[in-house]
């Protein structure tokens, strides 16, 4: 039977696939390469979710098994129009 995966709060992270994890205003963003972990349904979270705080999520989970950071982007300026 086919399954549908909804990635609310996550990005697709198939093996070798490039993605972007966006930081909030003033925070760094990351270009990442997926590792294709089947236990995460080939996904990588880009936030902590709502059941626990970001601090608690960072202590409990690691993104090391899900993606490889290829490049770090730092915001230089924010222009509002």
Instruction: Please confirm, yes or no, whether 71 is among the known catalytic residues.
Output: no
The tokens describing 14, both together, are: 């198939």
Among 13, 32, 44, 46, the active-site one is: 46
Catalytic positions are 46
């Amino acid at each position: 039977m086919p399954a549908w995966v909804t990635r609310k709060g996550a990005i697709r992270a198939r093996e070798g696939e490039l993605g972007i994890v966006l930081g909030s205003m003033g925070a760094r963003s990351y270009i990442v390469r997926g590792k294709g972990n089947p236990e995460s349904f080939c996904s990588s979270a880009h936030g902590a979710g709502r059941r626990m705080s970001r601090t608690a999520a960072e202590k409990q989970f690691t993104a090391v098994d899900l993606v490889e950071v290829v490049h770090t982007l730092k915001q230089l300026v924010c222009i509002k129009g």
